[in-house]
Structure formats: structure tokens, C-alpha cells
């Protein structure tokens, strides 16, 4: 039977939602093996009991000090020992760099930003701003595959997996760069942009006033995004930029308010399941790809929708 | 300090991209310097300027910035742009055998060239706007067994102590990381505002050296690079079915309510 190792992503003692998706992908392929790198693995392991996990491997070490390079060391050593059929990692900045180093260390092919992987380890990617769907496969080594968040509906399970401690030897070169201090991302009560199942974004049309965008986002439990025009103008932090040079998001619902929809913005959101656009300009390209488009002033449309949503919830 | 900046010529990100035979069709689109590499070139210039007696890059600064790029002959256009910003010289690895190289092969070639240059720092953009994998800087660091300081939103270099400190910025927060030379850095977009080449810079760039080398010059075998050595393969690439035209309406006072109704109908609110 195939076995698939996946890297459990966690911060602040909590497992990231994307890890439950990786567990689901792994289980669909074969035996699902979770790997936890943590100074305190037990609190993370406890959270794996509701995921489809057959086995857990834990490694304690100075991961917070040495970061990506050390975790890549650990995964390469675990792969050499366990000989899995594939390694799955979340497509984040950290995840992709860990994948990159593991691929080099294990002489394996790598595929990043997949939105799916099937039983035969054929991946699906959505490229060129979602205009093209590509199916690929790794042909050498242990396939290293990174998967975007929100790619699959996680399956719930009750599991009581066997836990194995694995001793990792962190190489000297992985200790060259050290993390001297760290600040967690300010969550602000909103979900993380790339993980959120709903994203509400504002652009030039907000004129710098993101209040209606944020209020709709909060009513929907959504993350807030912004177009490059809005972040370049200093209206919203760069970390919220959606587009070719910013984050790529693929939520269930994407609301574009006052965003014209230049190709560079569309590249970052075009694979969203449902797209809603609000724009004053009837010629705005975003309206052409929207499932639901309102030609109108976002300062009227958004608050009206927000009120209705709040009233419904109350 | 000897600084290298890895740059790539990419299809213009405003142009429509198509696949040809399982890979990106590069021949039939306008090619430009990868946007995100401009930030790396700019940061290298700022590092030199901050540590030069004359506050200027160039020979008098006592530091050097070498551009390293892998690509077709045509990549010299993108290299000239980075030279006109102020880099000193460039190495272009160009060879028919390199066509179709994946990220693993690309990092292998770049690392091999970097190894021979005695650099203190290697700067990269975080990703190329064509492949968008964000893996090559980490692969180079792994292959060279150098420190990896990537996704830097701030860089501070201490040439006397031969140390570099960066602020790494990712979706999960910020980290301060430090390492001794030599190190591989990648810089995020918010780090600086790349300068426009001045007229003087454009004229000077015409006289700067671009050394074009072949794969044989790197000492690597043709079997380790190119499409035939790629460790992943594209099975098929199909245009995504166009999104069907959705509902479009003009707000006449109840646009928000209609939007709400749509969200409820779709079970999204």
C-alpha cells in the first residue's frame, strides 16, 4: 500500500486548516503519515485525532531557531528511513522553500502550487492566472508536492494514530542562519488571506476608505484583500495584496469591490469558486469574469449587503 | 564585498501566455526583466552605496555587483536593463542544452557559476513571474551549503564583521535572521522602490561586459540539465473552460440586497 508523508503546519500551538486538507489528500492516496516538527509535539499531536491520520512522526529540535533549512534536513532523513511514495507540504513561503530543499537533498522532482493530486500522484495545477489547467507527475525520486490551501474539502475522522519519535540530526549548514527573534502575524480576528474560504478585496474604487470592505468581510467571516493600486497608494498593507506580485487566493467566494480587474489582479484570484464584483465602471474587466456583478457604487452596495447579512445572522 | 544578483528574463506579465509542447511558449511573447528581480538589483545597489566611501556603486566603491542569468542570447536585453540600473557586469549562461530546464537544473547551473565567483552575498527576487515557484533561492542555498536568508523585507549588512541580518516576512509573521557571509538572500517587493535607469546609466551599460558562457564552461554535463533531465513531466495542459457569463445588474437602490440574495442562494452567507 502507498504511504504518503505530509508536513503538519502549525503556529502558536494550533494546526493550520491547510494541514487537514493535506491529511485528506494523503488518505485518498494511501496510508497517511503526519510529521510534526515542534519543541512541544504533544499539543500538536492531540489535534491530529480528528483528522484522517494513520501514523504520526514527531521530531523535537531547535526548529524555531533554524527554521526552513533544519526542517528540510529532518524531512529528508525521515524520507530516507520511511521510504514513502510522496511528500505533501502546504504551498506557503515556508512550505515551498522546505520542499525545494528536500527535493535537492533527496534527488527528487518537485511540483509546487498544485490544487489536486490523485491516487497515481498526478497533480493538477492552475496556471497563467487560472486560464490553463495542467496535469503533471514527478518522474524521479520521492515526489515532493506542495498544495494550495482551499483545494479540497477536508474529511473528518476519528483516529488514534501510533506516534513515533524520530531523532533528527540538524546539519552544520542548516545552522548557519539563525532566527534571533520572531513576531507572529497580527491576526486581527480575521482569517489568514491565503487560507480564508471567503475574501473581500478593495481597490482604487475605495478611494482609501476600506471601512465598507472590512465590514462586509467581518459579516462574512472573511479575510480582507487589496489590489496593487490600493496597496501602492498606502491604503492597505502590502501583505494583503492579491495578484501576480502578491498573494494567490482561491477561496469559495471572492468579492472584488472597486477593483477594475487588470490581468495581474485576476492572476491572483481567478480560480476562486464564485466571484462577485462591484464596480462603478460598466466596462471594468472584472465584471466579465464575475458570477454576480453589480454596476454601482461600492459605498452604497456593500453596506446594504452587510446590513442584510448581519440582520439574517441576528 | 562581492555581490551576485540572479536575474531572469521572463515573458511580459501583461502579455497573454500560452503553452507549447508542455512548456511555456517563450518565443512568441515580449520578454522583460522579471519585475521581482529589480528589487534584488536595487537592494544590491543600496547595500553597496551604504558601504561605499563615495556613496555610489561602481569600481570606486570597492565593491562589485555581478548579474548572473541563465537563458537564451536574447536575455541580454533584460541584463542590459539591470546593468543600466548600476550593476557592474554580468554572466549569461546560454546553451541550447539548457532549454526546458526545471527549477532543480536551473539552481544546479546557477550554484555552479556562483561557486566559482567567491561572492559574499547572492541576491534574488522571491520568484519569477512566469514559473512562480519561489524555490530557486532555497535550492541554491541548499546546493552551496550557504546560509539561506530569504523573503527579506529589510537587509542590514556589516561588511567588517562579514555578517548579514534580514527581516524575513511571510504570511505567518516576521522573523529576524542573521548569518555570516556567504549567504543567499531573496528580497520581497516591499523592500524598496527600484530606480529607473538614468540616461547616464543607460549609456554606461552599453560598455559593461556581459560574459556569455556555455554549459561546458560550467563543468556540468548536458545530461544533468534541460528538458530531458527534468524530474517532472507535464501530462497535458488544457485551456480552462471560460467562466460562463454571470448575472450583471445595475444598482438602482437595491443592488446590495440583490447581492445578499445571491449569496444566500449560493449558501455563502
Q: Can you list the domains of chain B with their CATH numbers?
A: 2-229 (3.40.50.620)
Assess B148–A contact: CB distance below 8 Å, yes or no.
Answer: yes
Mean pLDDT along residues A197-218: 96
Please report which confidence band the pLDDT of residue B117 belongs to, taking 50, 70 and 90 as the band edges. Answer: very high
The answer to whether A140 and B231 have CB atoms below 8 angstroms apart is: yes
More confident residue, A85 or A238: A85
Interface of B with A in 39-98 (CB under 8 A): none
Cell of B245: 457569463
* Residue B28 scores a pLDDT above 80: no
The predicted structure's pLDDT at residue B129: 81
Total H helices, total E strands in chain B: 7, 15
Task: Compute the C-alpha angle B15/A262/A236, nearest 5°.
Answer: 130
The predicted structure's pLDDT at residue B17: 67
CA distance B224 to B105: 7
Q: What percent of chain B has pLDDT over 90?
A: 78
Interface of B with A in 152-171 (CB under 8 A): 165, 168-171
The predicted structure's pLDDT at residue A232: 92
* Residue B240 scores a pLDDT above 80: no
More confident residue, B242 or A53: A53
Q: What percent of chain B has pLDDT over 70?
A: 96
Mean pLDDT along residues B165-190: 93
The predicted model scores a pTM of 0.85
Phi, psi torsion values for B10, nearest 5 degrees: -130, 160
CA distance A177 to A273: 40
The answer to whether A287 and A277 have CB atoms below 8 angstroms apart is: yes
Nearest to A135 by CA among B262, B240, B214, B220: B240
Q: Is B211 exposed, middle or buried (0-12, 13-18, 19+ CB in 10 A)?
A: exposed
Half-sphere exposure of B223 (CA within 13 A, CB side): 0
Nearest to B4 by CA among B213, B184, B147: B184
The predicted structure's pLDDT at residue B31: 86
CB contact under 8 A, B232 and A137: yes
Q: pLDDT, tens digit, for every residue of B128-149? A: 888 889 999 999 999 999 999 9
Mean pLDDT along residues A109-132: 90
Task: Compute the C-alpha angle A215/A16/A156, nearest 5°.
Answer: 100
CA distance B269 to B265: 9
The count of CB pairs under 8 A between chains A and B is 267
Assess A264–B contact: CB distance below 8 Å, yes or no.
Answer: yes
Candidate from A93, A132, A275 with C-beta closest to B171: A93
Strands lying side by side in the sheet with A132-138: A162-165, A55-59, A31-37, A3-7, A86-90, A144-147, A110-117, A123-127, A132-138, B232-239
Mean pLDDT along residues A121-145: 90
Which three-class secondary structure state does DSSP give residue A77? Answer: helix
Mean pLDDT along residues A169-197: 87
Please give the CATH topology (third level) of the domain spanning A198-313.
Rossmann fold (3.40.50)
The predicted structure's pLDDT at residue A188: 59
Candidate from B36, B178, B248 with C-beta closest to A178: B178
Best-predicted range by mean pLDDT (A16-20, A310-314, B139-143, B227-231) = B139-143
Mutate which of A221, A294, A311 to disrupt the B interface (most B C-beta within 10 Å)? A294
* Residue A142 scores a pLDDT above 90: yes
Specify the length of chain B in residues.
269
Nearest to B175 by CA among B184, B166, B188: B166
- Among B53-57, B155-159, B186-190, where is mean pLDDT lowest? B53-57
What mean pLDDT is reported for chain A? Answer: 93
- Among A57-71, A115-129, A220-234, B23-37, where is mean pLDDT lowest? B23-37
The predicted structure's pLDDT at residue A41: 92
The predicted structure's pLDDT at residue B14: 62
Mean pLDDT along residues A180-199: 82
What mean pLDDT is reported for chain B? Answer: 92
Q: Residue A94's closest chain B neighbor by CA?
A: B170
The predicted structure's pLDDT at residue B60: 87
Assess A170–B contact: CB distance below 8 Å, yes or no.
Answer: no
- The complex scores an ipTM of 0.90
Query: What DSSP state is assigned to residue A87?
Result: E
The predicted structure's pLDDT at residue A199: 97
Residues of chain A with CATH 3.40.50.620: 3-175
Please report which confidence band the pLDDT of residue B189 belongs to, taking 50, 70 and 90 as the band edges. Answer: confident
Phi, psi torsion values for A279, nearest 5 degrees: -155, 145
CB contact under 8 A, A93 and B170: yes
Phi, psi torsion values for A258, nearest 5 degrees: 65, 30
Asked whether the CA dihedral B78, B82, B88, B93 is positive or negative, the reply is negative
Q: Output b/e per residue, B148-169; b: 16+ Cβ within 10 A.
A: bbbbbbbbebebeeeebbbbbb
The predicted structure's pLDDT at residue A222: 95
Q: What percent of chain A has pLDDT over 90?
A: 80
Q: pLDDT, tens digit, for every residue of A48-106? A: 999 999 999 999 999 999 999 999 999 999 999 999 999 999 999 999 999 999 999 99
CA distances from B94 to A160, B11, B29, B74, B137 (A): 55, 17, 19, 10, 20
Asked whether the CA dihedral B7, A244, A117, B186 is positive or negative, the reply is positive
CA distance B110 to B259: 51
* Residue B8 scores a pLDDT above 60: yes
Please report which confidence band the pLDDT of residue B2 belongs to, taking 50, 70 and 90 as the band edges. Answer: very high
Query: What DSSP state is assigned to residue A107?
Result: T
Mean pLDDT along residues B2-20: 83
Give the distance, in angstroms, between the CA of residue A292 and the centroid of all CA atoms in the same chain. Answer: 25
Nearest to A23 by CA among A35, A37, A39, A11: A35
Task: Compute the C-alpha angle B27/B19/B22, nearest 5°.
Answer: 105
CA distance A262 to A121: 34
* Residue A129 scores a pLDDT above 90: no
CA distance B150 to B172: 14
The predicted structure's pLDDT at residue A270: 87
* Residue A237 scores a pLDDT above 80: yes
**How near does any CA of chain A get to the CA of B208, in Å?**
30
Please report which confidence band the pLDDT of residue A1 belongs to, taking 50, 70 and 90 as the band edges. Answer: confident
Domain A3-175 has CATH 3.40.50.620: yes
Longest dimension (CA), chain A: 61
Q: pLDDT, tens digit, for every residue of A239-252? A: 899 998 888 898 99
- Bond into B182 cis (ω within 30): yes
Amino acid at each position: 500500500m502507498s504511504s504518503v508523508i505530509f508536513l503538519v503546519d502549525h503556529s502558536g500551538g494550533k494546526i493550520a486548516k491547510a494541514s487537514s486538507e493535506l491529511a485528506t489528500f494523503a488518505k485518498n492516496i494511501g496510508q497517511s503519515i503526519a510529521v510534526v516538527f515542534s519543541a512541544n509535539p504533544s499539543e500538536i499531536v492531540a489535534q491530529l485525532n480528528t483528522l484522517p491520520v494513520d501514523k504520526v512522526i514527531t521530531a523535537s529540535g531547535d526548529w524555531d531557531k533554524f527554521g526552513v533549512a533544519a526542517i528540510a534536513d529532518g524531512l529528508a532523513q525521515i524520507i530516507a528511513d520511511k521510504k514513502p511514495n510522496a511528500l505533501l507540504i502546504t504551498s506557503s513561503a515556508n512550505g515551498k522553500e522546505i520542499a525545494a530543499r528536500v527535493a535537492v537533498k533527496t534527488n527528487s522532482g518537485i511540483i509546487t502550487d498544485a490544487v489536486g493530486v490523485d491516487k497515481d500522484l498526478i497533480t493538477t495545477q492552475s496556471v497563467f492566472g487560472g486560464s490553463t489547467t495542467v496535469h503533471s507527475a514527478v518522474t524521479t525520486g520521492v515526489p515532493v508536492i506542495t498544495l494550495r490551501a482551499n483545494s479540497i474539502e477536508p474529511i473528518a475522522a476519528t483516529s488514534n494514530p501510533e506516534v513515533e519519535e524520530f531523532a533528527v540530526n540538524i546539519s552544520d549548514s542548516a545552522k548557519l542562519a539563525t532566527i534571533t527573534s520572531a513576531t507572529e502575524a497580527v491576526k486581527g480576528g480575521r482569517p489568514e488571506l491565503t487560507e480564508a474560504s471567503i475574501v473581500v478585496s478593495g481597490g482604487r474604487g475605495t478611494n482609501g476608505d476600506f471601512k465598507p470592505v472590512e465590514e462586509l468581510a467581518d459579516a462574512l467571516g472573511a479575510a480582507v484583500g487589496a489590489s496593487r493600486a490600493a496597496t501602492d497608494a498606502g491604503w492597505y498593507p502590502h501583505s494583503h495584496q492579491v495578484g501576480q506580485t502578491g498573494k494567490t487566493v482561491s477561496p469559495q467566494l471572492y468579492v472584488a469591490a472597486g477593483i477594475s480587474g487588470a490581468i495581474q489582479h485576476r492572476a491572483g484570484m481567478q480560480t476562486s469558486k464564485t466571484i462577485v464584483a462591484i464596480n462603478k465602471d460598466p466596462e471594468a474587466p472584472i465584471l466579465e469574469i464575475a458570477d454576480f456583478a453589480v454596476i454601482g457604487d461600492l459605498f452604497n452596495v456593500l453596506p446594504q449587503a452587510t446590513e442584510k447579512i448581519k440582520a439574517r445572522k441576528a | 564585498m562581492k555581490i551576485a544578483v540572479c536575474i531572469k528574463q521572463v515573458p511580459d506579465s501583461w502579455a497573454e501566455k500560452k503553452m507549447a509542447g508542455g512548456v511555456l511558449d517563450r518565443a512568441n511573447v515580449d520578454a522583460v526583466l522579471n519585475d521581482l528581480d529589480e528589487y534584488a538589483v536595487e537592494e544590491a545597489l543600496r547595500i553597496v552605496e551604504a558601504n561605499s566611501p563615495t556613496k555610489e556603486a561602481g569600481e570606486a566603491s570597492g565593491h562589485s555587483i555581478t548579474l548572473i542569468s541563465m537563458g537564451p542570447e536574447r536575455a541580454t536585453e533584460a541584463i542590459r536593463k539591470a546593468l543600466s540600473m548600476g550593476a557592474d557586469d554580468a554572466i549569461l549562461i546560454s546553451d541550447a542544452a539548457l532549454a526546458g530546464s526545471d527549477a532543480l537544473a536551473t539552481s544546479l547551473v546557477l550554484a555552479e557559476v556562483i561557486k566559482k565567483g567567491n561572492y559574499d552575498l547572492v541576491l534574488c527576487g522571491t520568484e519569477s513571474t512566469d514559473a512562480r515557484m519561489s524555490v530557486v533561492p532555497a535550492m541554491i542555498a541548499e546546493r552551496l551549503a550557504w546560509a539561506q536568508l530569504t523573503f527579506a523585507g529589510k537587509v542590514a549588512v556589516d561588511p567588517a564583521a562579514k555578517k548579514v541580518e534580514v527581516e524575513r516576512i511571510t504570511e505567518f509573521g516576521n522573523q529576524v535572521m542573521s548569518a555570516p557571509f556567504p549567504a543567499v538572500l531573496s528580497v520581497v517587493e516591499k523592500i524598496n522602490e527600484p530606480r529607473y535607469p538614468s540616461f547616464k546609466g543607460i549609456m554606461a551599460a552599453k560598455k559593461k561586459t556581459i560574459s556569455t558562457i556555455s554549459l561546458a564552461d560550467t563543468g556540468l554535463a548536458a545530461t544533468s540539465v534541460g528538458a530531458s533531465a527534468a524530474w517532472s513531466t507535464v501530462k497535458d495542459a488544457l485551456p480552462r473552460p471560460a467562466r460562463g457569463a454571470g448575472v450583471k445588474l445595475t444598482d438602482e437602490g437595491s443592488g446590495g440586497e440583490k447581492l445578499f440574495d445571491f449569496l444566500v442562494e449560493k449558501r455563502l452567507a
